Amino acid sequence: MAGNKEMITGGDFKRMVAGAYSELLLEYENINKLAGTDAFPGTHVLRTMGAAIMPLADVRDESIGGLARRVSTAALFGARGNAGVVLSQLFRGLSKGLSGKYEATSSEFGKAFQYGILYAERVLHEGSEHPFITVAKAVAKGAYHAVRANLPITEILAAAIAAGESAVVRIGREDAGARIMFIFLKGCLNGLDGNFVSPAVSLSLGLTASNGNMPNPRDDLVRPYCVRFRVKNHLIDMAEMEKQLKDFGNFALVEHWENGIHVHIHTDHPGKLMEWAIGLGPLRDIHITNMSETHALGVHDAIMPVGAIAMVDGKEQAARMQEAGAHIIVTGTKERCPAVAELVGAAHSDFASSYVLVAPRMEYWMVFRQAKYMLGERVELVLCKDEASQEKALRAFDGQKTASENAASMVQAAGKDA
């Protein structure tokens, strides 16, 4: 019997991702309801998905590996909440499995999808087998058997969905995480078949949305590339330079350097930035860092050796945490959890050589852990369960200690709640 010769292209991948976003747009509020009051996993995962689809709006790369990498980078950097981090890890595993491929066979894509499930499982630190883990393992097993049978990708996805649904029947309940998994898979399947319509996806491509209350994916655009370079040109106007750089990124620092300037900027299009920079004069010491991957955080004239970054909800809490010892504040709420990008961006501010990141609640722990993964050893975590323990931790901060020493003493000060 002849084997399955189906090939999955970059265009197929785009439709799958758009289909998943479309399905989440329709269901995110129902996911929130399933999670109970005061929890917003549907909103978090939708906004993470919004960050993921934005690089597809004007990309010229048609390779499935290249597109998967772009989506993974944006999702990892734009992840919000625990649910968003889990989804971003699924994309990370998928990207690893498709790396370097222009197009993929059904079997190759199915195996890459299994990688994605594995990465999503690993990010969960809880030891108990809650519904999401049980369903994820069942989905991976269903996909595995379909891949071994060399089935087309639509049948692989259908088998994964069916296996997950059977697992839900066995355990007798479905949590928000399991629902997200199903919606994502069904969206990918619908997208592959072209059976989806989403004004939000059109919005990401520059068209007009029909629903003004709909989350706008442009609001979740991330700029995951840190670019530093020097320009040898003493005639450059610093103020004009900073003004022009706003077209390329949301963080830009320009400083004098010998016979020219030093530029530090965060952007989503390093290629466009460098093409423009060539016209400024001779370029030196060009460094481009993908901040969604583990990297060494470079020091650039830091004001102090170690600083504390705290997430807060509102001005009142911000004032209290600053008085307690926080140097940099990142704002957010349970519904609008800050993206990983906001924590990474704060640590790239060059305020300090190293940082302690202090989380106020368990709902944000995975976001902080993902930021730590990206920033490496110069960043330490203090994960608190409430604002009171966060304040206790910050009051124990000591600028004479290292980040590691501070983290240990701050956790101890926060007590059993950290």
What are the chain's domains? Answer: 7-208 (1.25.40.340), 225-290 (3.30.70), 304-417 (3.40.50.510)
Over residues 88-123, the pLDDT tens digits come to 999 999 999 999 999 999 889 989 988 898 888 888
Over residues 329-355, the pLDDT tens digits come to 999 888 888 999 999 988 887 788 899
Residue 279: the pLDDT is: 93
Over residues 247-261, the pLDDT tens digits come to 998 788 888 888 899
SS3 for the chain, per residue? CCCCCCEECHHHHHHHHHHHHHHHHHHHHHHHHHHCCCCCHHHHHHHHHHHHHHHHCCCCCCCHHHHHHHHHHHHHHHCEHHHHHHHHHHHHHHHHHHCCCCCEEHHHHHHHHHHHHHHHHHCCCCCCCCHHHHHHHHHHHHHHHHHHCCCCHHHHHHHHHHHHHHHHHHHCCCCHHHHHHHHHHHHHHHHHHCCCCCHHHHHHCCCCCCCCCCCCHHHHCCCCEEEEEEECCCCCCHHHHHHHHCCCEEEEEEEEECCEEEEEEEECCHHHHHHHHHHHCCEEEEEEEECCCCCCCCCCCCCEEEEEEEEECCHHHHHHHHHHCCCEEEECCCCCCCEHHHHHHHHCCCCEEEEEEEECCHHHHHHHHHHHHHHHHHEEEEECCCHHHHHHHHHCCCCCCCHHHHHHHHHHHHHHHC
pTM above 0.95, yes or no: no
Residue 127 has pLDDT above 70, yes or no: no
Residue 298: the pLDDT is: 62
Residue 200 has pLDDT above 60, yes or no: no
- 372 vs 207: which has the higher pLDDT: 372
